[in-house]
Structure 1
Amino acid sequence: MIVRPPPNPNWNILAALKKMAENLNGCRVLCKSTLNHLQYLCRQERVECPQLGVTRKNLNDFEVEYLCDYKKKGEQEYYLVKWKEFPDSENTWEPRKNLRCVKILKQFHKDLDQELKRLKLRRNVKKLDHSLSHFLVQKAKQRKLLQQWEAHLNATREHKGRIFVSNEVDLDGPPKDFTYINNYKVGDGIILTEVAIGCECKDCLHDPLNGCCPGASLNKFAYNDKGQVKIKAGLPIYECNSRCNCGPECSNRVVQKGIQYDMCIFKTEDGRGWGVRTMEKIKKNSFVMEYVGEIITSEEAERRGHIYDKQGATYLFDLDYIEDVYTVDAAHYGNISHFVNHSCNPNLQVYNVFINNLDERLPRIAFFATRTIKAGEELTFDYKMQIDPVDAESTRMDSNFSLAGMTGSPKKRLRVECKCGVESCRKYLF
């Protein structure tokens, strides 16, 4: 770092510091400041540092964090700028010609136009009132928080599909008390037993020995050569496991490969809270996502269910493939399925999947597309999904999300109005 010497340097001190630096040659410590903050400190103190990218040419260049206000004098436009790493007290009015933040300018005017339209005010304003400028600042702060959350989600995910976040409806930021997880979180007193054996197939799809893993459980092979589910809803899916002879690209490993599509968590405009839409086309019968959360006992689910009912929402999903013993709770720990909304005419169907754990009381919950889903379309499943029995095996499955955590007969519950909006809407969720 190039440092300007003080007016009256104490050469004895400088000599001592130089000697100390020589003794510490090769010694390195972690820096507790970010690159942006170090650059800010250099510019604040008017110090050039080529190692940090701060040179004489860009010494006066400061980064715009967001724009706070707008006014127009004659033909000249001015913006109140919040500078990155500087407190609000250092905000300054700058003419447009001084700003090279094209993306931030476009976003500012998009937010401004949308709010003027909502308030039914004329678009060509020369000065913003306090309430309008305050809204724009809150919107900018919200967008920053959502961008940080989006980056955190993508740093946490272990699947191929990327996650985007969007809220063009209100000023709500990231949900509180929610942790993104990739695999089930096992609750107290629950033990997942690892499978003891695997298949010996060389080609599980075309040459399954003894029916591969599904055959060992007297079930049908679930997928075609494109990885699409071909068995009817209600029948279980047995995928190859960690002890199988086949590799990771085996045709009978679909759910375990994770989410393959880019998706967006977005705020709905009709009061349904957050939702999820796909950013890519999804073909019919393709795997979309798992319903991941905490695995808890039905007793614990009942306790939590009473609390969630008072809050007007629930994320409990009974694992009742063979008997109602365990429940998945995605309220505080979950993946992107936490944000998927209900529809009485959904585009996702539930299947019970078994991979490394063959305990029929603990299936994995997988969502497959019931039809081709277009890019930009919202993903939904039916909270009161009932499976039409296709044979004796399938009658054991009853995936009822809405009654999870409830015991007794009849199951009492506050009636919640359905807002899915489809023609076949049942009017109430529960």
Structure 2
Amino acid sequence: MSWDEVETLCRLEELRCKDLGVSRANVHEYEVEFICDYKRTKEEEFYLVKWRGFTEAENTWEPKSNLKCRKLMKQFHLDLEKELRRHKRHCVPRRLDKEISSLLAKKAKLRQSLQRWQAHLNHTSNHPGRIYVVNDVDLEGPPRNFTYINNYKAGPGIVLDEMAVGCECTNCIEDPVDGCCPGASLHRIAYNEKQRLRVRAGEPIYECNSRCRCGPDCPNRVVQKGIQFDLCIFKTDNGRGWGVRTLQHINKNTFVMEYIGEIITNEEAEKRGREYDSQGSTYLFDLDYVEDVYTVDAAHYGNISHFVNHSCNPNLQVFNVFIDNIDERLPRIALFSTRAICAGEELTFDYKMQIDPVDLESSRLDSSITLTDLPISKSSPKKRLRVECRCGSDSCRKYLF
């Protein structure tokens, strides 16, 4: 059954459902779900209303004076004005063409679908930052066969063991005992007192973990706290599919998100890569910090990073992070800001990331990443198609590969 059919049944049987918004107070009330059409006479304006909890066959024409849904009417007229401009029409007609009214109804349904998906994402995610979803470009709805996850998902034959050793520090930044957790691996603490990066690209990050003496407010716990910013998944208008933009200002050297997906072996990645090539898309990220053994596949399981686009001049940089699992073949992949990012700006990183080989550890960090609608063969790099880059930056390389 559809959501509408379930809600209709609840109201007919006078059943209350919190998730559907059917309560004792409103079970007999009529609520406008969205507006489908418009017409006007000399005396009155009328709207064709889709009632929440009722099928479309029960839509009714209502005079404007009967309706108390200003926000929905405003949204309807914004959609209508945009569609009329597309047809190079300047005046709202007395009665809409069927083509236009049909498109407006589809947009309203799409908005409902995206709002439900947005609610599902926020219900599923375990991070403080909220997720919003917007599509003002076309009628594409939520992606199919994609499950939002918060941590790595072990693929066939993969076991993710916790194997970290905790520190004995009481103040990990000001008074680290034996170098704190990074010191055990002969590295320095990656963050300053404001929890911003102070290491260069290519250097690993070792955070405090569940076995450490320090508490959850330790400045050396950043990635494990999850996404802190409100982000928006939006449909791009230049053929790059979905993208992600921040709704809040982000300072330089700040953690933004992890790249999360299903952990698979390279053998499985070769198999899936050929399948993804035939579909014209792939989301494979090699974990080759020390050995090219495992790959992250975010095609069907992932978080918001699944939707982040490429740029030749990105504002995010990849870092390898170790917390409870210090197996260097299985780092967590964290994205940090390379500069201050303004609210409303799209988040991007370089799919063909290169790091100066003189940087410490840089020779071990050469992550191959092929994401978002790219017809690329992982198993045959010499036969990869030249993919046009649409990032639009001044330093664009014109081709991704």
Q: Bin the TM-score by the shorter chain.
A: over 0.9
- 2:110 pairs with 1:142: yes
The equivalent position to 1:170 in structure 2, one of 110, 116, 138, is 138
What SS does structure 2 have at the residue aligned with 1:389? coil
Q: Partners in 1 of 2:205 and 2:299 — Cα distance?
A: 26
Cα 1:257–1:302, aligned 2, differ >3 Å: closer, same or farther?
same
My pick for the range that moved more, 310-319 or 370-379, is 310-319
- 2:286 pairs with 1:318: yes
Residue pairs, 1:13-52, within 5 angstroms: 38-39=10-11, 52=24
- 2:397 pairs with 1:429: no
Could you say which residue in structure 2 is the equivalent of 1:289? 257
- 2:374 pairs with 1:406: no
Which amino acid letter does the alignment assign opposite residue 185 of structure 2? S
- Structure number, greater radius of gyration: 1
- 2:53 pairs with 1:53: no
Contact (CA 8 Å) 2:274, 2:379: kept in 1 or not? no
Which amino acid letter does the alignment assign opposite residue 159 of structure 2? I
Contact (CA 8 Å) 2:261, 2:297: kept in 1 or not? yes
> Number of paired residues?
386
The equivalent position to 1:373 in structure 2, one of 341, 349, 352, is 341
TM-score if structure 1 supplies the norm length? 0.86
Residue pairs, 1:13-412, within 5 angstroms: 38-39=10-11, 52-53=24-25, 61-402=29-370, 406-407=378-379, 411-412=382-383
My pick for the range that moved more, 105-114 or 85-94, is 85-94
Contact (CA 8 Å) 1:320, 1:397: kept in 2 or not? yes
Contact (CA 8 Å) 2:257, 2:305: kept in 1 or not? yes
How far the C-alpha of 1:391 sits from its partner, in A, is 4.1
The equivalent position to 1:420 in structure 2, one of 387, 391, 397, is 391
What SS does structure 2 have at the residue aligned with 1:327? strand
Cα 1:248–1:65, aligned 2, differ >3 Å: closer, same or farther?
same
Deviations 1:157-177 (A, max 9, x none): 000000000000001111111
Which amino acid letter does the alignment assign opposite residue 353 of structure 1? V
**Which structure 1 residue ranges, 5 or more long, are not aligned?**
1-32, 44-50
Q: Partners in 2 of 1:164 and 1:393 — Cα distance?
A: 37
Q: Partners in 1 of 2:155 and 2:350 — Cα distance?
A: 26
What SS does structure 2 have at the residue aligned with 1:383? coil
Could you say which residue in structure 1 is the equivalent of 2:19? none
How far the C-alpha of 1:67 sits from its partner, in A, is 1.2
TM-score if structure 2 supplies the norm length? 0.92
Contact (CA 8 Å) 2:288, 2:294: kept in 1 or not? yes
How far the C-alpha of 1:36 sits from its partner, in A, is 7.7
Q: Partners in 1 of 2:133 and 2:160 — Cα distance?
A: 33
How far the C-alpha of 1:106 sits from its partner, in A, is 0.7
Q: Partners in 1 of 2:325 and 2:63 — Cα distance?
A: 64
What's the C-alpha RMSD, in Å, of the aligned pairs?
Answer: 2.0
How far the C-alpha of 1:268 sits from its partner, in A, is 0.5
What SS does structure 2 have at the residue aligned with 1:136? helix
Cα 1:138–1:256, aligned 2, differ >3 Å: closer, same or farther?
same
Deviations 1:355-375 (A, max 9, x none): 111111111100000000000
How far the C-alpha of 1:302 sits from its partner, in A, is 1.0
My pick for the range that moved more, 160-169 or 414-423, is 414-423
What SS does structure 2 have at the residue aligned with 1:80? strand
How far the C-alpha of 1:84 sits from its partner, in A, is 1.6
Cα 1:160–1:105, aligned 2, differ >3 Å: closer, same or farther?
same
Cα 1:36–1:91, aligned 2, differ >3 Å: closer, same or farther?
closer
**Which structure 2 residue ranges, 5 or more long, are not aligned?**
16-22
Deviations 1:403-427 (A, max 9, x none): 997246x532122111101111111
How far the C-alpha of 1:196 sits from its partner, in A, is 4.5
How far the C-alpha of 1:195 sits from its partner, in A, is 1.9
Q: Deviation above 6 Å: which 4+ runs of structure 1?
A: 33-36
Contact (CA 8 Å) 2:154, 2:264: kept in 1 or not? yes
